[in-house]
Amino acid sequence: MTTDTSAPQLPPESRSRGLIRSSDRAVLSTAMTGDGWPYGSLVMTACDHAARPLLLISELAEHTKNLATDTRASLLFDGTAGLDSPLTGARVTVMGRLTPTKDAALTARYVARHPDAEMYLGFADFRVFEMTVDRAHIVAGFGAIHWIDAPDLLFDITVHEDLAAAESDVVDHMNQDHADAIQLYATKLLGLEAGDWKMTGVDPEGLDLRDGGRTGRVTFENPVGDAEAARSILVRMVKAARQ
């Protein structure tokens, strides 16, 4: 497994997808109702197993009012934090259309990523939105600039759907019975400071961790398709972390 989702040697589509998956926030740009001026706002994000972005936003927010008349939007995911020269780091703009979804699994995935969002689900004006991606643009330093069409950006989950169905069981099992392994993933594989790390999700390409306001992501060497394959790689990761 690798712990660097922005490694330069990765293809631009994999690098972009890794940044979307590892980020928990983005800058949302929408067109203002009436005059069409671009409007940027900070939003908290998650994504589905294919890496389509998910948002939980209020109908009272300016950006949601804008989406009611024009669903086109872009999300800027910034992977430059902590770099001495930020412009050498990766950032990807994902363009598409944002529309509400009632998919309970997607809502659960968002809340697992952002536990404090659960309180907002009880308010009638808050809804989960999913982006239907059109294309993306990654800038990852000099000469590393690419446009990526949606079929290349998104992960094909056709033969990996069993994992999506089993995800909540895998995550609950790991958090309840293997908390020590999760700490090893964070501290030994990712080099993060010890804390109360929890697993928030597992998709075919990796797993997501969270400790309060801190997040981390471990990327698998090869995609996994079901719970048994996930269990196998999670065990191997523990062994690697203990070496």
Domain with CATH 2.30.110.10 in the chain: 12-153
Number of alpha carbons in the 13 Å side-chain half-sphere of residue 239: 6
pLDDT at 141: 84
Number of alpha carbons in the 13 Å side-chain half-sphere of residue 132: 7
Structure tokens that stand for 153 in this block: 């950006």
pLDDT along the chain (243 residues), means of 10: 51 96 98 96 98 98 98 97 92 98 96 95 94 97 92 96 94 96 97 97 97 96 93 94 89
Please report, as a single letter, which amino acid is at residue 217.
R
pLDDT at 3: 39
Residue by residue, DSSP assigns 71-87 as: -EEEEEEE--TT-SSGG
pLDDT at 8: 53
In terms of Cβ atoms closer than 10 Å to its own Cβ (0-12, 13-18, 19+), residue 238 is middle
Q: Is the pTM of this model over 0.85?
A: yes
Whether residue 146 contacts residue 138, with contact meaning beta carbons closer than 8 Å, is answered with yes
pLDDT at 227: 92
- Considering the domain delimited by 161-242, tell me its CATH architecture: Alpha-Beta Barrel (3.20)
- Going by C-alpha positions, the residue among 143, 154, 106 that lies closest to residue 127 is 106
The CATH homologous superfamily for domain 12-153 is Electron Transport, Fmn-binding Protein; Chain A (2.30.110.10)
CA-based radius of gyration for the chain: 18
Q: How far is CA 49 from the centre of its chain?
A: 9
Domain with CATH 3.20.180.10 in the chain: 161-242
Whether residue 167 contacts residue 207, with contact meaning beta carbons closer than 8 Å, is answered with no
pLDDT at 1: 37
pLDDT at 4: 41
**Strands of 83-230, DSSP E:** 91-100, 126-139, 145-149, 198-203, 206-211, 214-219
pLDDT at 209: 98
pLDDT at 139: 96
